[in-house]
Each structure stands twice: as C-alpha cells, then as structure tokens.
C-alpha cells in the first residue's frame, strides 16, 4: 500500500513538472512574439524632401542623421531623402550655408510610412577680412604683371584639360582601352579571314607601290642619318 502511494505521488509530481515546463515555454514564446510585433510596429520609414524656406528650392547634399546614433543619409540633387528609424527618434538636418534643424518623430504615427517636408533657412556666414593695397609705383606694377605667376583656378585647369589640341595629344600617347583593343583584334581577324586558304597578294608587281617607293627614294627617306637607316614603314 505504501509503495502504491509513493508511485502515485511520483506520477503526480512528474505530471505537474511537465505541465509547468510546457506552460513556461508557451508564455516565453508568446512574450517573444509580442516583443517582435511591438518592435515591427515601432519602425517607420520617413520619405521626405528638403527645400529652402524663402523660395522653396530643393536643397541637395543635406546630411540627415538620427540623433545619438551613428547612422544617416544624404539628400539627393532634388532634395529627396529616405531613412528608416524608430518612432520617437529625432532627425537632425545639417548642410553648409543653412541652419541646422531637428525634427522629432511622433510616437502616435499610424503605420510604417510617413511623409515629411523639411524647410531649411539660409545662414549668414562671415569671411575673414581682406585688405587690397595698390602697388607703390608704376614700374613695380609692370614688373608684377609680367613676372608674377598666378596659379590657375579650377575653371582654367578644366578648360586647358578639355582643349582640342590637348585631347588630340593625349589620344596619341594613351594606350588603347579594352573596347579599342577588341575592335582592333576583330578587324585583324576579319582581314586575315579574307585570304584564308590562299596566298596574300604581293605588292612587288604593284605599280602604285613602286611609284611611292621612287618618291620616297627621291625624298631621301632611305639615307643614313646618325648611323641608322630610316626606312619607310609602308611595307616595301
């Protein structure tokens, strides 16, 4: 009788422990699901545009940062930006020549998308003082005008780099790129494919080639200059 009572007590204790463990795991899973759902509902995507307050012009290259967090974005050329953050965060807007602004995202926003129009006010900044003095004599001015070397600005450098003669000189010295090398290789293969299976024509009996050879001979292209023969490169 005593053994039966002990067995029943052990069975009820095991059943109680198993039920408690299952209940604890179920409550833990429900808590995780609720926390994940709450976190997902707290995320919001801000889509907005940044403009000037006086003329409503788009402000490009504005830094949009989440306050106290090391992440943010920059506005495009049209002033448009998009950032993902949490409800209740503070967005900081900063740009060169404009006053910094802050915007607090309300926690009462419904949904995960929010549109924002942020206006920026131009800020006044002061440059250091510059004093311009005239030269003491005319001769000094003439000397400075002739001998002073004033460095070129960015516009002058860009103009010189895009000059027709400069581009032509660079085209003669720069190597071929991948596209040009591929085109040259395909053209060479096409020329060789024309005479596939036959001998290439010889220019020894070509009267035009002989005429060019005699003209080069008269010009002195084959004379010795400095111990080296400067031969024509036309394949004679």
State the Cα–Cα distance between residues 117 and 48, nearest whole angstrom: 5
120 contact partners, CB below 8 Å, separation of at least 6? 50, 51, 52, 53, 59, 62, 93, 95, 98, 99, 101
Q: Are 65 and 71 in contact (CB under 8 A)?
A: yes
- pTM for this prediction: 0.41
* Domains present along the chain, CATH in parentheses: 41-120 (2.60.40.1120), 142-217 (no CATH)
66 CB neighbour count, 10 Å cutoff? 19
For residue 2, the model assigns a pLDDT of 43
State the Cα–Cα distance between residues 232 and 214, nearest whole angstrom: 11
Three-class DSSP labels, 145-193? HHHCCCCCCHHHHHHHHCCHHHHHHHHHHCCCCHHHHHHHHHHHHHHHH
Per-residue pLDDT of the chain (236 residues; tens, 9 = 90+): 545 444 444 544 555 445 554 455 555 555 554 554 556 778 899 999 999 988 889 999 999 999 988 889 999 989 999 999 998 899 999 998 899 999 999 888 888 889 999 999 988 777 788 888 776 677 877 888 888 888 888 888 888 888 888 888 888 888 888 888 899 899 988 888 888 888 777 777 788 888 888 888 888 887 765 544 444 444 44
């Amino acid at each position: 009788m005593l053994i039966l009572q002990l067995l029943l007590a052990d069975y009820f204790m095991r059943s109680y422990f198993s039920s408690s463990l299952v209940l604890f795991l179920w409550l833990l899973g429900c808590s995780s699901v609720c926390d994940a759902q709450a976190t997902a509902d707290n995320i919001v995507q801000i889509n907005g545009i940044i403009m000037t307050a006086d003329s409503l012009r788009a402000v490009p290259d504005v830094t949009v940062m989440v306050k106290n967090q090391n992440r943010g974005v920059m506005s495009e050329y049209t002033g448009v930006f998009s950032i993902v953050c949490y409800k209740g965060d503070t967005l900081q807007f900063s740009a060169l020549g404009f006053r910094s602004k802050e915007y607090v995202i309300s926690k009462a926003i419904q949904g995960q998308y929010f549109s924002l129009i942020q206006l920026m006010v131009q800020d006044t900044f002061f440059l250091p003082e510059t004093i311009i003095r005239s030269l003491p004599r005319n001769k000094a001015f003439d000397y400075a005008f002739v001998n002073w070397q004033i460095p070129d600005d960015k516009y002058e450098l860009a103009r010189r780099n895009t000059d027709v003669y400069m581009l032509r000189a660079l085209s003669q010295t720069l190597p071929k790129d991948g596209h040009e090398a591929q085109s040259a290789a395909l053209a060479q293969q096409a020329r060789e494919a024309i005479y596939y299976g036959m001998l290439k024509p010889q220019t020894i009996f070509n009267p035009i080639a002989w005429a060019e050879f005699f003209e080069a001979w008269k010009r002195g292209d084959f004379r010795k200059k400095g111990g080296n023969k400067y031969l024509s490169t036309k394949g004679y």
